Amino acid sequence: MIEVPGVLVAPSRVMLLRLLSDASTELDEVLTLLGACGVPGCADLPIGVIDRLLLVAHRAVTGRDLELVVSCPACGALSELPLGASDVPSHTPRCSWCGPGAGVREPVGADLLGLPVDGAEAARELLRRCSVGPAEGGRDQAALDRAEQSLCGNVRVACTSCRGPIEHYVDVQHLVATAVASAVADVDVEVHLIASRYKWDLSTIELLPEKRRARLAALAAGVPG
């Protein structure tokens, strides 16, 4: 069983901005993010572990847990859907057997890299990569769905007002990638504000500690240039 740590190293947002600009897909982005947070060999981790680590990485980068606000279809009230690392079920290693000698394991990050563009071909190739056991064939998508533990799918919560059911589609990988991209994009604005105001060169500004850079940017934004 792979332990998901409760805390990850908070990477510098300037470094993340540089690293993420080289990532070509969302999966690349989240693997890069985990690497920057000090997780070694994240491409070799099961996707269920990667998703749970992403919730911890979200807290490391933004300082708070991921959270969604969902609206009740019956009464319209808004409810918070907390998505911190302790709000989701823990990961349990799992293989799914389809018959004698034919099984499927949960995909790891690397299994999802470089798949064919065509959806049906990609699904076949993923099934081939994740096959376990000596039997030829006999594996299907349903077995893969049973084995994988990504945090992607419909989540049900009770409305805080009328207690009615609310169902909401959640894709943790996408939510974390979007939130982190937005957090690091703020760095560009901060660097621009400081460079415009103080005329320092970019490398000097990028070397400033996170909090000092944010403070100087706020000052620069508040003082007419």
Give whichever of 160 and 178 is closer to Zn ion, judged by the CB atom. Answer: 160
To the nearest whole angstrom, how small is the minimum distance from the Cβ of residue 6 to Zn ion?
33
To the nearest whole angstrom, how small is the minimum distance from the Cβ of residue 82 to Zn ion?
17
**Angle at the Cα of 184 from the Cα atoms of 21 and 222, rounded to 5 degrees:** 130
Beta strand pairing call for 131-132 and 152-158: unpaired
To the nearest whole angstrom, how small is the minimum distance from the Cβ of residue 70 to Zn ion?
10
To the nearest whole angstrom, how small is the minimum distance from the Cβ of residue 72 to Zn ion?
3
Cα-Cα-Cα-Cα torsion 158, 6, 174, 206, nearest 10 degrees, comes to: 140
Give whichever of 69 and 117 is closer to Zn ion, judged by the CB atom. Answer: 69
- Cβ proximity of 34 and 54 under 8 Å: yes
Give whichever of 72 and 112 is closer to Zn ion, judged by the CB atom. Answer: 72
To the nearest whole angstrom, how small is the minimum distance from the Cβ of residue 210 to Zn ion?
40
Give whichever of 42 and 72 is closer to Zn ion, judged by the CB atom. Answer: 72
The SS3 of residue 223 is coil
Cα-Cα-Cα-Cα torsion 140, 104, 110, 32, nearest 10 degrees, comes to: 100
Give whichever of 92 and 160 is closer to Zn ion, judged by the CB atom. Answer: 160
Beta strand pairing call for 165-171 and 102-105: unpaired
CA atoms within 13 A on the CB side of 156: 3
Q: Quickly tell me which residue has 């920057």 as its tokens.
A: 36
Binding site for Zn ion (CB under 5 A): 72, 74-75, 77, 159, 161-162, 164
